[in-house]
Structure 1
Amino acid sequence: MATLIMSQRNITMLTVEDVAELAGRLEQDDYNNAFEGLEDWHLLRAIAFQRPELAEPYLYLLDMEGYDEA
């Protein structure tokens, strides 16, 4: 299973289809090793912070919980 390694600059160039493909790999969880899955997870997380409109349908894959900083 191939993973995407993206620089911060390349995240701005991702399309809806690219993110859907990334999410599909994460849902299938069919990686050769745990590190490939972790790379995809970190990429989706970076997309969620930089391009939230693309990652919004897949936020459940990140299992991110809000917290109160007060």
Structure 2
Amino acid sequence: MTTLTYTDKDFATMTIEDVAEIATRLENDDYKTPFESLQDWHKLRAIAFHREDLIEPYFYLLDIEAYDES
């Protein structure tokens, strides 16, 4: 299994077009295996933690819901 590793430099150089490409693949759900889509999902989620401004239009793809831990 491939492990994704990103640095702050990777996130700093990411563009809106890079994120749009990932989001388009996720929206089209055109993958050979489910693991390929999961890899893109994790990539988008990592971008969300470091560059939320880039994923704002695609936040719905992450399916993150607010919850109360109390």
Per the normalisation by structure 2, the TM-score is 0.85
Q: In proportion to residue count, which structure has more helix?
A: 2
Q: How far apart in 1 are the matches of 2:37 and 2:7?
A: 19
Greater relative contact order structure (CA < 8 Å, 6+ sep): 1
Alignment correspondent of 2:7: 8
Q: Identity percentage over the alignment? A: 58
- Taking the TM superposition and a 5 Å limit, the aligned residue runs for 1:21-32 are 21-32=21-32
Q: Is the 8 Å Cα contact of residues 6 and 43 (structure 1) preserved in structure 2?
A: no
Matched, 1:60 2:66: no
The gaps in structure 2 that reach 5 residues or longer are: none
Per the normalisation by structure 1, the TM-score is 0.85
Q: Is the 8 Å Cα contact of residues 19 and 55 (structure 1) preserved in structure 2?
A: yes
1:58 maps to amino acid: Y
- Number of equivalences: 66
CA RMSD of aligned residues (A): 1.3
Q: How far apart in 2 are the matches of 1:27 and 1:6?
A: 23
Runs of 4+ displaced beyond 4 Å: none
